[in-house]
Amino acid sequence: MPRMATTGREEWKTFASVFDRFTEKQVQSLITKGVIDGLIGHLSMGKEATVFLAKAKDETVIIKVYRLSTCDFNRMYESIRTDPRFPKLNRQRRKVVFAWAQREFRNLLKAREAGVRVPTPITHLFNVLVMELVGDETAAQKVKDALPKRPAEFIEDLIAQMRKLYKAGLVHGDLSPFNILNSNEKPVIIDMSQTTTLEDPNAKEYLTRDIKNVVSFANKLGVELTVDELGQKVKA
Ligand SMILES: Nc1ncnc2c1ncn2[C@@H]1O[C@H](COP(=O)(O)OP(=O)(O)O)[C@@H](O)[C@H]1O
Ligand SMILES: [Mg+2]
């Protein structure tokens, strides 16, 4: 079990349940390489990934572990199969999970380079992804749980992020108030493992879905926006 600062029973159980021996080795290797000093806590357990906080010198960073035993393997494979950046990927569970982590790393990097507000990716190692923590010391909340104080401004900023992402040739594919953090009243987009390029035959459908999600969130906040308007703004 990798060295960590937390020894609480619940944390231990969570670490133990997610870390198969292979993953344990990767986390250990990140410690040996000096990327992180150790894990400090558990943040989230999703369908395919478990997210931890880790210490890296004076900073706190995020470790996202894609579970090798994910139950969502078929969905994963169907999603990455049409991404032109991953041709010839065959249906091998491990390889698909590794590609999935690599895909999120590449997407975050490309988005970052295009000036989209996303966490800066630090490194990836097989099924483990290390990235910047959004928030100071503790993680910023999802916007669904921390509604913006100035909705119109927040949505306008979010549209600017969507436009930059589109310009960079990417479609998020799972954009919703679950994957947008409210960081000091600024939107930060996260969770980019299913993000694909505009050449992906499914890109159009994903974009339409992302747009619909953002429009319904904006409307819920009392911001007037239609699907057509947002579509035009994103592609402008
Ligand atoms: N870089 C980050 N900074 C702060 N919190 C994060 C970061 N990445 C993930 N989280 C937290 O972990 C949760 C799960 O991460 P996410 O990438 O959305 O994976 P999934 O939804 O596939 O499980 C997020 O909803 C968020 O609360
Ligand atoms: Mg998510």
Q: Tell me the percentage of the chain whose pLDDT exceeds 90.
A: 87
Which atom of ligand 1 is found nearest the CA of 131? 1
Q: Confirm if 213 and 234 have CB atoms less than 8 A apart.
A: no
DSSP 87: T
Q: Does residue 43's CB lie within 6 angstroms of at least one atom of ligand 1?
A: yes
State the first-to-last Cα distance of the chain, in angstroms, to the nearest integer: 50
Fold match, 9-132 / 141-235: no
Question: Does residue 72 have an active-site annotation?
Answer: no
pLDDT tens for 93-142 read 999 999 999 999 999 999 999 999 999 999 999 999 999 999 988 999 99
User: Which fold would CATH assign to domain 9-132?
Assistant: Phosphorylase Kinase; domain 1 (3.30.200)
CA distance 163 to 159: 6
Strand partners, 4: 39
Buried-exposed string 107-143: b where 16+ CB fall within 10 A, e elsewhere: bbbbbbebebbbbebbebbbbbbbbbbbbeeebbebb
The residue extents of the domains of the chain are 9-132, 141-235
Question: Does residue 136 have an active-site annotation?
Answer: no
Which atom of ligand 1 is found nearest the CA of 139? 4
pLDDT tens for 6-24 read 445 555 555 666 578 899 9
Task: Give the pLDDT band (50/70/90) at residue 199.
Answer: very high
CA distance 79 to 59: 34
Q: Kindly tell me if the per-residue pLDDT of 52 is higher than 90.
A: yes
* Helices and strands (H, E) in the chain, number of each type: 7, 10
Q: How many Å lie between the centroid of ligand 2 and the Cα of residue 146?
A: 15
CA distance 5 to 41: 8
Which residue among 37, 83, 191, 200 is the active-site one?
Answer: 191
User: Which fold would CATH assign to domain 141-235?
Assistant: Transferase(Phosphotransferase); domain 1 (1.10.510)
Whole-model pTM: value is: 0.94
Per-residue pLDDT at 72: 82
Q: Write the burial class of residue 168 (CB in 10 Å: 0-12 exposed, 13-18 middle, 19+ buried).
A: middle
